[in-house]
Amino acid sequence: MIDQPAPPPPPGSLTRTVPSRVVLAHLLPGAVEPALGPLTQQECAILRCGYLDEQLLVDVYGQMVPADTLKCASGRARALQDLLPHGVVVAGLSAMWVHTGGRVPGLLEKLRNADPDAVVTLGGVGCLRLERAVVDLARTAPPGMAVAAVLRARRAGLTRRELETALLSCRGGGMRGLRRARRLIDDLYAPGFQASPVPPAESC
Protein backbone atom coordinates (compact mmCIF):
# COMPACT_ATOMS: atom_id res chain seq x y z
CA MET A 1 0.00 0.00 0.00
CA ILE A 2 1.48 3.35 -1.04
CA ASP A 3 1.21 6.22 1.45
CA GLN A 4 -0.48 9.31 0.12
CA PRO A 5 1.61 12.50 0.33
CA ALA A 6 0.62 14.90 3.08
CA PRO A 7 -1.26 18.04 1.96
CA PRO A 8 0.90 21.14 1.65
CA PRO A 9 0.94 23.46 4.68
CA PRO A 10 -1.06 26.68 4.46
CA PRO A 11 0.79 29.63 2.89
CA GLY A 12 3.29 31.20 5.24
CA SER A 13 3.04 28.50 7.91
CA LEU A 14 6.75 27.71 7.72
CA THR A 15 7.68 31.34 8.29
CA ARG A 16 5.09 31.97 11.07
CA THR A 17 3.42 34.78 9.11
CA VAL A 18 0.08 33.12 8.43
CA PRO A 19 -2.80 35.61 8.19
CA SER A 20 -5.65 34.72 10.54
CA ARG A 21 -8.14 34.45 7.66
CA VAL A 22 -5.89 31.91 5.90
CA VAL A 23 -5.65 29.79 9.05
CA LEU A 24 -9.42 29.87 9.59
CA ALA A 25 -10.08 29.05 5.95
CA HIS A 26 -7.72 26.07 6.26
CA LEU A 27 -9.40 24.81 9.45
CA LEU A 28 -13.04 25.50 8.71
CA PRO A 29 -15.01 23.83 5.91
CA GLY A 30 -17.22 26.84 5.17
CA ALA A 31 -16.89 30.59 4.73
CA VAL A 32 -16.03 32.68 7.78
CA GLU A 33 -18.77 35.17 8.71
CA PRO A 34 -18.35 38.05 11.18
CA ALA A 35 -20.46 38.27 14.34
CA LEU A 36 -22.93 41.11 13.76
CA GLY A 37 -25.09 40.75 16.86
CA PRO A 38 -25.41 39.01 20.25
CA LEU A 39 -23.54 35.73 20.52
CA THR A 40 -25.33 32.46 21.14
CA GLN A 41 -24.57 30.44 24.29
CA GLN A 42 -22.61 27.97 22.17
CA GLU A 43 -20.51 30.75 20.64
CA CYS A 44 -19.85 32.24 24.08
CA ALA A 45 -18.74 28.83 25.38
CA ILE A 46 -16.36 28.35 22.46
CA LEU A 47 -14.91 31.84 22.71
CA ARG A 48 -14.70 31.99 26.51
CA CYS A 49 -11.39 33.61 27.48
CA GLY A 50 -11.52 35.67 30.70
CA TYR A 51 -9.46 38.77 29.95
CA LEU A 52 -10.33 38.89 26.26
CA ASP A 53 -14.06 38.65 27.02
CA GLU A 54 -13.84 41.94 28.91
CA GLN A 55 -12.05 43.60 26.01
CA LEU A 56 -14.12 42.24 23.14
CA LEU A 57 -17.64 41.69 24.49
CA VAL A 58 -20.21 43.94 26.17
CA ASP A 59 -23.06 42.68 28.37
CA VAL A 60 -26.21 44.21 26.89
CA TYR A 61 -29.08 43.16 29.14
CA GLY A 62 -27.78 39.63 29.58
CA GLN A 63 -26.54 39.18 26.02
CA MET A 64 -22.83 39.15 25.17
CA VAL A 65 -22.37 41.44 22.18
CA PRO A 66 -19.12 42.14 20.26
CA ALA A 67 -18.03 45.65 21.27
CA ASP A 68 -17.25 46.72 17.72
CA THR A 69 -20.89 46.21 16.70
CA LEU A 70 -21.97 48.83 19.26
CA LYS A 71 -20.05 51.74 17.76
CA CYS A 72 -23.06 53.19 15.94
CA ALA A 73 -26.74 53.73 16.66
CA SER A 74 -28.04 51.03 14.30
CA GLY A 75 -25.64 48.48 15.78
CA ARG A 76 -26.77 49.29 19.33
CA ALA A 77 -30.40 49.05 18.24
CA ARG A 78 -29.82 45.64 16.62
CA ALA A 79 -28.39 44.38 19.91
CA LEU A 80 -31.85 44.92 21.46
CA GLN A 81 -33.88 43.32 18.69
CA ASP A 82 -34.46 39.95 20.39
CA LEU A 83 -35.45 41.65 23.66
CA LEU A 84 -38.41 43.62 22.31
CA PRO A 85 -41.91 42.17 21.91
CA HIS A 86 -43.83 43.04 18.75
CA GLY A 87 -45.13 46.61 18.77
CA VAL A 88 -42.76 47.77 21.54
CA VAL A 89 -40.09 50.43 21.00
CA VAL A 90 -36.98 51.41 22.93
CA ALA A 91 -37.55 54.39 25.24
CA GLY A 92 -36.04 56.50 28.02
CA LEU A 93 -32.37 56.06 28.90
CA SER A 94 -32.17 52.99 26.66
CA ALA A 95 -33.21 55.11 23.67
CA MET A 96 -30.59 57.71 24.61
CA TRP A 97 -27.99 54.93 24.73
CA VAL A 98 -29.02 53.73 21.27
CA HIS A 99 -28.62 57.25 19.86
CA THR A 100 -25.53 58.44 21.74
CA GLY A 101 -23.68 55.37 23.07
CA GLY A 102 -21.80 55.29 26.38
CA ARG A 103 -22.52 52.90 29.24
CA VAL A 104 -25.44 50.50 28.83
CA PRO A 105 -28.27 51.63 31.20
CA GLY A 106 -29.16 49.21 33.97
CA LEU A 107 -32.74 48.59 32.83
CA LEU A 108 -34.10 48.21 29.31
CA GLU A 109 -36.83 50.84 29.01
CA LYS A 110 -39.61 50.05 26.54
CA LEU A 111 -42.79 51.72 25.38
CA ARG A 112 -45.90 50.24 23.78
CA ASN A 113 -48.26 52.22 21.52
CA ALA A 114 -45.79 55.05 20.98
CA ASP A 115 -46.73 57.96 18.72
CA PRO A 116 -45.47 56.89 15.26
CA ASP A 117 -44.14 60.42 14.64
CA ALA A 118 -41.92 60.06 17.72
CA VAL A 119 -40.34 56.80 16.54
CA VAL A 120 -37.41 56.14 14.24
CA THR A 121 -36.31 52.74 12.91
CA LEU A 122 -32.64 51.93 13.46
CA GLY A 123 -31.17 48.59 12.46
CA GLY A 124 -34.70 47.26 12.02
CA VAL A 125 -35.65 48.25 15.59
CA GLY A 126 -38.19 50.89 16.62
CA CYS A 127 -36.73 53.50 18.94
CA LEU A 128 -37.98 56.84 20.26
CA ARG A 129 -36.30 59.73 18.49
CA LEU A 130 -33.55 61.26 20.60
CA GLU A 131 -35.43 64.52 21.10
CA ARG A 132 -38.54 62.69 22.33
CA ALA A 133 -36.56 60.44 24.69
CA VAL A 134 -34.83 63.53 26.13
CA VAL A 135 -38.11 65.40 26.58
CA ASP A 136 -39.69 62.41 28.34
CA LEU A 137 -36.75 62.19 30.74
CA ALA A 138 -36.80 65.95 31.30
CA ARG A 139 -40.49 65.71 32.20
CA THR A 140 -40.59 62.68 34.48
CA ALA A 141 -37.11 61.44 35.49
CA PRO A 142 -35.52 62.28 38.87
CA PRO A 143 -34.06 65.83 38.76
CA GLY A 144 -30.42 64.84 38.35
CA MET A 145 -31.23 62.40 35.56
CA ALA A 146 -33.45 64.97 33.85
CA VAL A 147 -30.66 67.57 33.85
CA ALA A 148 -28.15 65.00 32.58
CA ALA A 149 -30.50 64.04 29.72
CA VAL A 150 -30.87 67.63 28.49
CA LEU A 151 -27.11 68.22 28.76
CA ARG A 152 -26.43 65.06 26.81
CA ALA A 153 -28.87 66.16 24.13
CA ARG A 154 -27.07 69.47 23.78
CA ARG A 155 -23.67 67.78 23.59
CA ALA A 156 -25.04 65.42 20.95
CA GLY A 157 -26.02 68.39 18.80
CA LEU A 158 -29.79 68.63 19.37
CA THR A 159 -31.04 72.19 19.05
CA ARG A 160 -33.37 73.99 21.40
CA ARG A 161 -35.96 74.17 18.62
CA GLU A 162 -35.90 70.37 18.17
CA LEU A 163 -36.58 69.83 21.88
CA GLU A 164 -39.31 72.47 21.95
CA THR A 165 -40.97 70.85 18.93
CA ALA A 166 -40.88 67.49 20.73
CA LEU A 167 -42.46 69.14 23.79
CA LEU A 168 -45.28 70.56 21.69
CA SER A 169 -46.02 67.08 20.30
CA CYS A 170 -46.73 65.64 23.77
CA ARG A 171 -50.36 64.68 24.24
CA GLY A 172 -52.52 63.21 27.02
CA GLY A 173 -50.45 61.65 29.81
CA GLY A 174 -47.33 62.77 27.95
CA MET A 175 -48.03 66.34 29.05
CA ARG A 176 -47.14 65.68 32.69
CA GLY A 177 -44.07 67.64 33.71
CA LEU A 178 -44.03 69.93 30.67
CA ARG A 179 -43.37 73.02 32.78
CA ARG A 180 -40.30 71.44 34.42
CA ALA A 181 -38.97 70.22 31.07
CA ARG A 182 -39.39 73.65 29.49
CA ARG A 183 -37.59 75.30 32.40
CA LEU A 184 -34.67 72.86 32.12
CA ILE A 185 -34.38 73.48 28.39
CA ASP A 186 -34.49 77.25 28.92
CA ASP A 187 -31.77 77.11 31.58
CA LEU A 188 -29.44 74.61 29.91
CA TYR A 189 -29.73 76.16 26.44
CA ALA A 190 -29.33 79.73 27.72
CA PRO A 191 -26.85 81.92 25.79
CA GLY A 192 -23.38 81.63 27.25
CA PHE A 193 -23.95 78.19 28.78
CA GLN A 194 -21.10 75.93 27.68
CA ALA A 195 -21.63 72.19 27.17
CA SER A 196 -18.63 70.10 26.15
CA PRO A 197 -19.15 68.39 22.76
CA VAL A 198 -19.17 64.65 22.19
CA PRO A 199 -17.42 62.89 19.29
CA PRO A 200 -19.57 62.43 16.16
CA ALA A 201 -21.35 59.09 15.86
CA GLU A 202 -19.78 56.44 13.63
CA SER A 203 -21.67 54.95 10.72
CA CYS A 204 -22.23 51.23 10.23
pLDDT digits 0-9 by tens, 112-133: 989 999 999 999 999 999 999 9
The three-state secondary structure class of 201 is: coil
* pTM to 2 decimal places: 0.72
Report the alpha-carbon distance of residue 52 to residue 42 in Å, rounded: 17
23-32, 114-123, 178-187: range with lowest mean pLDDT: 23-32
Render pLDDT for 65-89 as a digit per residue (tens, 0 to 9): 888 889 999 999 999 999 999 999 9
Q: What is the pLDDT, as a whole number, of residue 42?
A: 64
Query: How far is CA 201 from each of CA 116, 130, 152, rounded to the nearest angstrom?
Result: 24, 13, 13
At 64, phi and psi to the nearest 5?
Answer: -90, 115
What is the percent of the chain with per-residue pLDDT over 90, rounded to a whole number?
52
Where is 128: in which H helix or E strand?
strand 125-128
Q: What is the pLDDT, as a whole number, of residue 85?
A: 92
